[in-house]
Amino acid sequence: MSNISEIENSSRDGYPIVLVDWTDSCENAENSDVGIYDLPSPQRLFYAGFIVHEEEDYIVIAGGIKPAQETYDNTMAIPRCSINSIRYLTPATSEGDD
């Protein structure tokens, strides 16, 4: 990707924009002498961004793309076994756009 118009059309150009509903592990901030009533449990999370990489067992989502530097920001690898659903989003269009 080399310019902003390509990013704006990213769902058509290979970087789908998605909302991922997934379950993550969790631990207490204080992780010693944890009482039975303070045990953590998994958390449901939502993460929105661009799918920038896919493997059989995980996907990588980026919250931002810097096309001039060819880098990504706020990346997260999410195991497929933790994904509840992936919703593919469509960018809003301005009046007069095709």
**pLDDT digits over 22-41, tens only?**
999 999 888 888 899 989 99
What is the set of domains in the chain, with CATH numbers?
4-27+38-89 (2.30.30)
pTM above 0.85, yes or no: no
Enumerate the β-bridge partners of residue 29: none
Which residue shows structure tokens 């756009």? 97
When the pLDDT of each residue in the chain is averaged and rounded to a whole number, the result is: 85
Which residue shows structure tokens 């998605």? 18
Structure tokens at 92: 């809003």
Higher-scoring residue by pLDDT: 67, 61 = 61
pLDDT higher than 60, residue 67: yes
43: amino acid identity, one letter: Q
| 71 Cα distance to chain centroid | 15
Burial profile 66-88: b = 16 or more Cβ within 10 angstroms, e = fewer: eeeeeebeeebebeeeeeeebee
Phi, psi torsion values for 79, nearest 5 degrees: -65, 135
pLDDT of residue 54: 95
Cα end-to-end span (Å), the chain? 21
